[in-house]
Structure 1
Amino acid sequence: MNNEVSPIDLFNFAVWGIIFLVIITQLFRSIRIVSTRTALIVERLGKYKATLGPGFHVLIPFIDVVTAIQDLREETIDVPPQECFSKDEVQVEVDGVIYMSVSDPIKATYGVTDYRFAAMQLAQTTTRSVIGTLELDKTFEERDMISQAVVDTLNAAGETWGVHVHRYEIKNIKPPSTVQCAMEKQVTAEREKRAILARAEGDKQSRINTSEGTMRELINLSEGERQRLVNEAEGRASEILALATATAESIEKIGNAVVQPGGEEAIKLNLSEKFINNIAHLADAETSVIFPADLTNLNQLLEALDLHIARKANA
């Protein structure tokens, strides 16, 4: 008996083995486990069939095919540096970052060939257009406006592409080295100008404060001097008034005493005592005193004084 295997049998065995491996492979590939925030696009015989969400799924081998896997998480896309011209014809280099995510897996698969590349190109063209309407100084101040314009444009196109742009950030705006040096000098000049103005304003305020302090000091001194003079005048007036009042009261009392019984004799006696005492004091002093001729006639002097007092009382 011949146990040798013919070449035809070997060929058939190999063919069936390959077919078996293909079938087993397709069976395994038909079993899909989709993770969270991932979507699988399935086509059946070349036509869109379904979008598979997270979970366990079984496909029909040789008929159902996964044509795209879309990641629904937010992703970042670097926009490479590009040269832009501002409104005042200054060339600047601008780059940025796009933050976006797939909102519609079907549109992201069939609406555009490569939504990442398309978003990057649209961001560059929009950035060039917006910077072309701004002067160089404004490009540094209007970063938010430029970013918002890019986001609005990308979201308008994203409705067709099935993507949503969350934000766009400009990383760098680099002018030429010559322009950058000129801008640095301008900034330095502005800072020096502000410093000079601040020092001048401070010196001015200091002088104003000093003059106001001196003025208030002089006012306070003059007010104090005026109040002192007023107080002294009021004091002298009060003193004069008190003396006048006391003198008037004493004169009134003397007049009342004179008209009383025995008042005249009392006054004469009081005047005699004062006259004698004054003469005694003059005798003690080391001075020369001239007395009138009738000094020895005391009674006549008193009578003359009495007549003078009587006249004042009658008046």
Structure 2
Amino acid sequence: MIMDTSIIFLAILVVLVLVFLVKSIAIVPQQNAWIIERLGRYDRTLSPGARFIIPFVDRVAYKHSLKEIPLDVPSQICITRDNTQLQVDGVIYFQVTDPMLASYGSSNYISAITQLAQTTLRSVIGRMELDKTFEEREAINSTIVSSLDEAATNWGVKVLRYEIKDLTPPNEILRAMQAQITAEREKRALIAASEGRRQEQINIATGEREAAIARSEGEKQAQINQAQGEAAAVVAIAEATAQAIGQVAHAIEQPGGMAAVNLRVAENYVDAFANVAKEGNTLILPANLSDVGGLIASAMTVVKATGQGK
């Protein structure tokens, strides 16, 4: 009986030792931190890995994830500077940087961050007009992050960024904004059309001016070419006439040349009277037929004088 009692006692002792050993080993996952309290007071922070604690004396009071955590900020109504209501919601990204402060700096740092984000957002929106809230989203986000990060330092939390998800004005404002956008687009379309017509008229006027200049230049060049052609023709005729006269003078100086000239002058004289007779019904004859010989002699005198002058 005594042996059975010893065996039972030994078995209980082994079980207690095993339980003690199991309770004395804490396995902390990666990117986590555990807060250990010893007899109700903060003792240490356990980093990832296998760690030893004293069972029934030490206890894991808090477990924190050191990863970046997204936190939705509930939607709320904000009043802008021009007294317009906006329904705004967003999301915060934060990370626990000091597990001890995150455990003891605030009773609930998640709720504290959320409340502070909402109050800061209302304050920032209240200093802006409605149109600016849509244009200055980056500035709003930056202001909220700065304000949250300053306050969250005492909570062992680092606020990384804040993003506004939705900015929703009332339906009446949406309709007014849509009408304003439509009017602005119509205005731009009219301005663009008028600018197009203006440019078209400028192009037409420029084209007509250039065409007129081109025509005047062409007419000027044509007149220059015509004048140069006429001058060249006059020079060519004069040179041909001079060459012909020279050839005639040279021919007269040859033997028999003077007789040929007498014959030619007489033929021209007779042909001239013949042509005069053909043009009318009246026959015209010289008062004295001997005038033919006199005319020929006069013409020959001129020819001889010309030949001697050369």
- Report the TM-score, using the length of structure 1 for normalisation: 0.82
Aligned ranges 1:1-315 → 2 under 5 Å: 27-255=21-249, 258=252, 263-272=257-266, 278=271, 282=275, 290-294=284-288, 299-312=293-306
Counterparts of 1:190 and 1:83, CA distance in 2:
29
Kindly state the Cα deviation for residue 147 of structure 1 after the two structures are TM-superposed: 0.3
Give me the identity figure in percent: 43
Distance in 1 (CA, whole Å) between partners of 2:51 and 2:274 is: 147
Q: Tell me which amino acid in the other structure corresponds to 2:153.
A: E
Identify if the C-alpha distance between structure 1 residues 22 and 68 changes in structure 2 by more than 3 Å, giving closer, same or farther. farther
Q: After superposing the two structures, state which structure 1 stretch, 228-237 or 135-144, moved more.
A: 228-237
- Give the 3-state SS of the residue equivalent to 2:107 in structure 1: coil
1:95, distance to aligned residue in structure 2 (A): 0.9
Other structure's SS at 2:194 match: helix
Q: Deviations over 1:65-98 (max 9, x none)?
A: 1111111111111111122221112221211000
User: Does the 8 A contact of 2:77 with 2:87 survive in 1?
Assistant: yes
Q: What letter matches 2:183 in structure 1? A: A
Q: Which AA in structure 2 matches 1:234? A: Q
Whether contact under 8 Å (2:85, 2:170) holds in the other structure is: yes
Q: Which runs of 5+ in 2 are unaligned?
A: 1-7
* Structure 1 gap segments, 5+ residues each: 1-12
Question: Which one-letter code corresponds to 2:87 in the other structure?
Answer: E
How far is the alpha carbon of 1:253 from its aligned partner?
4.4
**CA distance, structure 2, for counterparts of residue 26 and residue 213 of structure 1:** 102
Instruction: Single out whichever of 38-47 and 24-33 deviates more from structure 2.
Output: 24-33
TM-score by length of 2: 0.83
Q: CA deviation at 1:297?
A: 6.5
Conservation of the 8 A alpha-carbon contact between 2:24 and 2:55: yes
